[in-house]
């Protein structure tokens, strides 16, 4: 597990396979959680946010040869975050930006807590290579500074009960690097690692964080991604789930001098990447390193697909050290296959509209590691751009990571990609006024088997579908939803019929005063209690297991007019149906009998709002309203003054939008909701324009009735 923060600058941060917490901090950062259930924040961070038991760290890359901890600056860290160990190798691997992980400095700081009765003399020691120092409350306790191999130095200090500041400085200049910090005293069990001693308290610092346009990649696991401010891109699973190239990495040997020496099979590592980064791949997968950090004796094969829209002459440019070759459909287009220093070559080819296979082979024996591939042509407007930024690459990840992720883009125009799994797009991702457009690239609605996949929380904006439909327009394959503040949500490859109560968080309900048929006759819904027997169509008398209520004031209704109830006048759906006026919420579903049967039967459930006709069924203005939910052991059809309608159906995603206390109460009664769900609806449902079409073309008003 790691808790890390990018600090100042544009950082690329990758977590571990454990549950990591990664913050980009200042600048436009790229965060990749890798494996584990991670929490990624594009901007937030800063030392004041750290958890107990961790120390805040600042990491500094040096472009010179340090020889003392005094060379560590007091500001301008290349990265910062929180750690619960002194693994300086891991930090150097993550944050080295100078191409040489042998010259860096780290400052750790935080607090230690001396408990009641534990005051006394404490001994601190460091075993480090190279130099280190320890300060308590600004007083130097351990001096292990200077250039040296692993060496141990110690010092003592008298500490009183309470909180004390601690600062540890470490630097590295070539050779091995290591740091161990131990402590012993009245509050420890002998000599212990500082973190294992239990003395480490809360990190304490206040660093301002400037928002950036960040890229957050959850990777494997059930992750939480928060873009926060800026125009961010969030991907719940594999960040390379978009377009990119497959790669094969081979550790080859000292005699490699041509791409022909790269094997065809047996790669040491394979995967999918969104950019060409040979240093990153070689650092992660190589086995031979010059000077301990420069990877050598390897080969890489990239492969994928490019798609040409406008035919014509295309120029491919290749910069490499050592050799490389670009192939289109297996034919060499640019070749510079030999041992050489960095140089650039290019060549042209004529491409007609269509898709092509592209392969790039590269090898490195010794020295620098350089590979760049650029392209120009009609589809790039004649400009020379990096291949992976050109828009020509259309190959996608064949094995994307999966996880049930939570995405919160925060402020700005963000791009949200849930990836595989059941993902949740938070309401706080959206809004911000005219000119802001958030894009959800892969919202997955209900699958053919009936299960909800993704959930997008639109309840704060559109409590009822009538209002949502009015705000939604189809733009090609995309659904554009304009929010009340003028901001737009673009749902790619989605239509309005894909959205429903279960995947937007708005439950159906009855209004106060609605009579419900019970075993002792009609009773007002607000008078019904848990345990009362209510008459159901399919299973006879059934006990009420749970009752929920939601009260909306006049102010809330004026702010969100879509919450206004639907009044169904006496006889609106036929003689005695209903026997008197009743009021329900707009999304409360009524049982409707089709004029003729279809494949899924005669009876369907249709939201009340889709029966509105402007006269006998209409949405009304009220000063306040209370909606009620009746829950049974299964979804039921219940009766009210001659009409049949549904009971409450708590979809798995709907739970996330409920009041916290109500959700806890409901889960105590039905713990299986978290794992198995509540089950199917009592009848098939029809939503949106589809429901209106069925009602208008296949049903008569006399046939819209409760089956009582």
In this prediction, residue 7 carries a pLDDT of: 46
DSSP secondary structure letter of residue 5: E
pLDDT tens digit string along 45-87?
444 445 678 888 888 888 778 889 999 988 777 777 778 889 8
CATH number at residue 180: 2.60.120.1560
Residue 436 to residues 249, 307, 458, 526, Cα–Cα distance (Å)? 41, 30, 16, 43
- Domain count for the chain, please give it: 4
Whole-angstrom Cα distance, residue 450 to residue 138? 63
In this prediction, residue 461 carries a pLDDT of: 75
- The verdict on residue 561 lying in a domain is yes
CATH number at residue 425: 2.150.10.10
Which of 503, 529, 547 finishes a domain? 503
Question: Residue 607: is its pLDDT beyond 90?
Answer: no
Helix (H, G, I), strand (E, B) or coil at 695: helix
CATH number at residue 692: 2.170.16.10
In this prediction, residue 87 carries a pLDDT of: 87
Whose CA is closest to 645, among 591, 581, 582, 699?
591
Q: Please indicate, yes or no, whether residues 517 and 486 belong to a single structural domain of this protein.
A: no
pLDDT bucket at 108, cuts 50 / 70 / 90: very high
Q: Please indicate, yes or no, whether residues 480 and 580 belong to a single structural domain of this protein.
A: no
- To which H or E segment does residue 437 belong? strand 437-440
Whole-angstrom Cα distance, residue 212 to residue 209? 9
- The verdict on residue 28 lying in a domain is no
Question: Residue 690: is its pLDDT beyond 60?
Answer: no
Highest-confidence range of 34-48, 152-166, 268-282, 554-568, by mean pLDDT?
A: 152-166
Burial letters 27-46, b for 16+ CB under 10 A, else e = bbbbbbbbbbbbbbbbbbbb
- Least confident piece of the model among 47-51, 250-254, 352-356: 47-51
Highest-confidence range of 12-26, 479-493, 658-672, by mean pLDDT?
A: 479-493
pLDDT tens digit string along 369-394?
889 999 999 999 999 999 988 999 99
Tokens 């190239």 sit at which residue? 245
pLDDT bucket at 206, cuts 50 / 70 / 90: very low
Whole-angstrom Cα distance, residue 380 to residue 458? 38
Tokens 């009746």 sit at which residue? 630
Question: Residue 611: is its pLDDT beyond 50?
Answer: yes
Whole-angstrom Cα distance, residue 662 to residue 557? 22
In this prediction, residue 41 carries a pLDDT of: 52
Q: Please indicate, yes or no, whether residues 478 and 524 belong to a single structural domain of this protein.
A: no
- Least confident piece of the model among 82-86, 166-170, 458-462, 668-672: 668-672
Question: Residue 672: is its pLDDT beyond 70?
Answer: no
CATH number at residue 265: 2.60.120.260
Query: 267 — phi, psi (to 5°)?
Result: -60, 145
- The verdict on residue 247 lying in a domain is yes
Question: 693 or 567: whose pLDDT is higher?
Answer: 567
> Which domain does 366 fall in, by range?
243-397
Whose CA is closest to 610, among 586, 580, 631?
586
Q: Please indicate, yes or no, whether residues 533 and 645 belong to a single structural domain of this protein.
A: yes
Q: Please indicate, yes or no, whether residues 516 and 442 belong to a single structural domain of this protein.
A: no
In this prediction, residue 609 carries a pLDDT of: 81
Q: Please indicate, yes or no, whether residues 360 and 486 belong to a single structural domain of this protein.
A: no
DSSP secondary structure letter of residue 564: P
Token representation of residue 536: 């159901």
Question: Residue 702: is its pLDDT beyond 60?
Answer: no
Question: Residue 518: is its pLDDT beyond 90?
Answer: yes
Kindly tell me the burial class for residue 690, based on how many C-beta atoms sit within 10 Å of its own C-beta (0-12, 13-18, 19 or more): middle
Q: Please indicate, yes or no, whether residues 118 and 155 belong to a single structural domain of this protein.
A: yes
- Least confident piece of the model among 128-132, 180-184, 435-439: 435-439
Mean pLDDT for the stretch of residues 10-15: 47
Written in H, E and C, the secondary structure of 488-532 is EEEECCCCHHHCCHHHHCCCCCEECCCEEEECCEEEEHHHCCCCC
In this prediction, residue 651 carries a pLDDT of: 62
Whose CA is closest to 295, among 352, 369, 240, 349?
369
Question: 590 or 467: whose pLDDT is higher?
Answer: 590
- The verdict on residue 35 lying in a domain is no
Q: Please indicate, yes or no, whether residues 123 and 58 belong to a single structural domain of this protein.
A: yes
Question: 599 or 245: whose pLDDT is higher?
Answer: 245
- The verdict on residue 27 lying in a domain is no
Whole-angstrom Cα distance, residue 42 to residue 425? 16
Q: Please indicate, yes or no, whether residues 318 and 344 belong to a single structural domain of this protein.
A: yes
Highest-confidence range of 7-11, 557-561, 608-612, 703-707, by mean pLDDT?
A: 608-612
- The verdict on residue 609 lying in a domain is yes
Kindly tell me the burial class for residue 151, based on how many C-beta atoms sit within 10 Å of its own C-beta (0-12, 13-18, 19 or more): middle
Q: Please indicate, yes or no, whether residues 359 and 375 belong to a single structural domain of this protein.
A: yes
pLDDT bucket at 230, cuts 50 / 70 / 90: low
Which of 368, 397, 426 finishes a domain? 397
User: Cβ atoms within 10 A of the Cβ of 560, count?
Assistant: 18
Question: Residue 676: is its pLDDT beyond 70?
Answer: no
Mean pLDDT for the stretch of residues 536-554: 88
- Least confident piece of the model among 64-68, 94-98, 320-324: 94-98
In this prediction, residue 595 carries a pLDDT of: 58
Q: Do the Cβ atoms of 271 and 246 come closer than 8 Å?
A: yes
Half-sphere exposure of 615 (CA within 13 A, CB side): 3
In this prediction, residue 64 carries a pLDDT of: 77
Q: Please indicate, yes or no, whether residues 87 and 184 belong to a single structural domain of this protein.
A: yes
Whose CA is closest to 548, among 581, 570, 522, 526?
526
pLDDT tens digit string along 390-406?
999 998 877 665 566 67
Mean pLDDT for the stretch of residues 514-535: 91
Strand order in the sheet with 510-511: 546-552, 625-631, 510-511, 582-584, 566-568, 617-619
Mean pLDDT for the stretch of residues 268-292: 81
In this prediction, residue 360 carries a pLDDT of: 96
Question: 530 or 594: whose pLDDT is higher?
Answer: 530
In this prediction, residue 357 carries a pLDDT of: 96
Q: List, as one string, the DSSP characters of 60-90.
A: EE-SS---SGGGS-SS--SEEEEESS--HHH
Q: Do the Cβ atoms of 512 and 608 come closer than 8 Å?
A: no
Whole-angstrom Cα distance, residue 182 to residue 127? 8
pLDDT bucket at 16, cuts 50 / 70 / 90: very low
Q: Please indicate, yes or no, whether residues 604 and 564 belong to a single structural domain of this protein.
A: yes
In this prediction, residue 616 carries a pLDDT of: 84
Mean pLDDT for the stretch of residues 27-37: 48
In this prediction, residue 619 carries a pLDDT of: 85
Q: What is the mean pLDDT of the chain?
A: 78
- The verdict on residue 7 lying in a domain is no
Query: 17 — phi, psi (to 5°)?
Result: -80, 0
Mean pLDDT for the stretch of residues 631-657: 79
In this prediction, residue 597 carries a pLDDT of: 57
Helix (H, G, I), strand (E, B) or coil at 325: strand
Any residues with CB less than 8 A from the CB of 385 and at least 6 apart, and which? 374, 375, 376
Burial letters 565-579, b for 16+ CB under 10 A, else e = bbbbebbbbbeebbe
- The verdict on residue 15 lying in a domain is no
Instruction: Express as a percent the part of the chain with pLDDT over 90.
Output: 31
In this prediction, residue 50 carries a pLDDT of: 53
Instruction: Express as a percent the part of the chain with pLDDT over 70.
Output: 72
H-assigned helices in 234-297: 278-285
Kindly tell me the burial class for residue 650, based on how many C-beta atoms sit within 10 Å of its own C-beta (0-12, 13-18, 19 or more): buried
Whole-angstrom Cα distance, residue 280 to residue 3? 21
Which of 397, 431, 454 finishes a domain? 397
pLDDT tens digit string along 408-441?
766 677 777 777 677 778 777 788 888 888 888 8
H-assigned helices in 81-233: 88-95
Question: 284 or 596: whose pLDDT is higher?
Answer: 284
């Amino acid at each position: 597990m790691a808790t890390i923060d990018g600090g100042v600058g544009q950082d690329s941060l990758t977590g571990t396979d454990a549950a990591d917490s990664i913050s980009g901090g200042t600048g436009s950062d790229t965060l990749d959680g890798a494996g584990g259930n991670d929490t990624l924040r594009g901007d937030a961070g800063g030392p004041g946010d750290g958890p107990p038991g961790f120390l805040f760290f600042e990491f500094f890359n040096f472009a010179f040869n340090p020889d003392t901890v005094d060379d560590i600056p007091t500001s301008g860290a290349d990265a910062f975050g929180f750690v619960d160990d002194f693994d300086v190798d891991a930090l150097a691997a993550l944050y080295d930006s100078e191409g040489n992980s042998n010259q860096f400095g780290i400052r750790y700081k935080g607090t230690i807590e001396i408990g009641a009765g534990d005051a006394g003399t404490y001994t601190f020691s460091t075993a480090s290579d190279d130099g280190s120092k320890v300060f308590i409350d600004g007083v130097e306790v351990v001096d292990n500074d200077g250039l040296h191999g692993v060496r141990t130095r110690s010092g003592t200090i008298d500490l009183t009960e309470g909180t004390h500041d601690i600062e540890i400085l470490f630097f590295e200049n070539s050779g091995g690097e290591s740091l161990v910090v131990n402590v012993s005293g009245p509050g420890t069990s002998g000599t212990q690692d500082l973190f294992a001693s239990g003395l480490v308290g809360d990190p304490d610092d206040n660093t301002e964080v400037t928002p950036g346009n960040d890229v957050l990649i959850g990777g494997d696991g059930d992750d939480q991604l928060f873009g926060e401010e800026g125009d961010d891109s969030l991907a719940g699973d594999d960040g390379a789930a978009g377009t990119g190239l497959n790669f094969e990495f081979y550790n080859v040997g000292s005699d490699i001098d041509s791409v022909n020496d790269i094997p065809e099979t047996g790669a040491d590592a394979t995967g999918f990447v969104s950019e060409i980064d040979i240093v990153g791949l070689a650092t992660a997968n190589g086995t031979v390193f010059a000077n301990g950090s420069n990877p050598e004796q390897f080969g890489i094969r990239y492969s994928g697909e490019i798609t040409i829209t406008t035919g014509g002459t295309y120029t491919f440019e290749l910069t490499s050290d050592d050799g490389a070759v670009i192939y289109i459909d297996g034919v060499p287009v640019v070749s510079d296959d030999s041992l050489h220093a960095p140089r650039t070559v290019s060549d042209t080819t004529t491409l007609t509209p269509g898709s092509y296979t592209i392969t790039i082979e590269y090898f490195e024996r010794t020295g620098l590691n350089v590979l760049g591939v650029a392209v120009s042509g009609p589809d790039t407007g004649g400009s020379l751009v990096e291949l992976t930024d050109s828009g020509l690459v259309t190959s996608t990840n064949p094995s994307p990571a999966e996880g049930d992720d939570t995405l919160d883009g925060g402020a700005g125009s963000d791009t949200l990609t849930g990836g595989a799994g059941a993902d949740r797009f938070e309401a706080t991702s959206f809004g911000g006024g005219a000119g802001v457009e958030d894009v959800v690239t892969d919202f997955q609605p209900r699958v053919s088997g009936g299960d909800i996949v993704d959930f997008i929380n639109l309840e704060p904006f559109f409590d009822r579908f009538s209002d949502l439909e009015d705000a939604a327009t189809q733009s090609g394959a995309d659904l554009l939803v304009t929010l009340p503040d003028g901001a737009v949500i673009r749902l790619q490859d989605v239509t309005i019929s894909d959205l429903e109560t279960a995947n937007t968080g708005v439950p159906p309900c009855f209004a106060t005063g609605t009579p419900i048929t019970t075993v002792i006759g009609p009773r007002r819904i607000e008078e019904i209690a848990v345990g009362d027997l209510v008459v159901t169509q399919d299973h006879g008398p059934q006990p009420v297991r749970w009752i929920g209520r939601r009260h909306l004031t006049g102010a809330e209704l004026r702010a969100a007019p879509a919450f206004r109830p639907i009044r169904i006048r006496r006889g609106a759906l036929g003689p005695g149906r209903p026997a008197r006026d009743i009021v329900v919420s707009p999304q409360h579903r009524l049982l409707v009998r089709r004029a003729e049967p279809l494949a899924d039967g005669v009876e369907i459930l249709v939201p009340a709002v889709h029966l509105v006709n402007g006269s006998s069924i209409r949405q009304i203005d009220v000063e306040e309203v209370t909606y009620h939910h009746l829950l049974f052991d299964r979804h039921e059809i219940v009766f009210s003054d001659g009409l049949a309608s549904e009971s409450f159906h708590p979809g798995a995603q709907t739970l996330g939008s409920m009041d916290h206390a109500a959700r806890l109460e409901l889960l105590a009664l039905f713990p299986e909701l978290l794992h198995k769900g509540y089950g199917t609806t009592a009848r098939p449902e029809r939503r949106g324009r589809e429901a209106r079409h069925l009602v208008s073309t296949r049903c008569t008003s006399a046939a819209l009735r409760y089956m009582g």
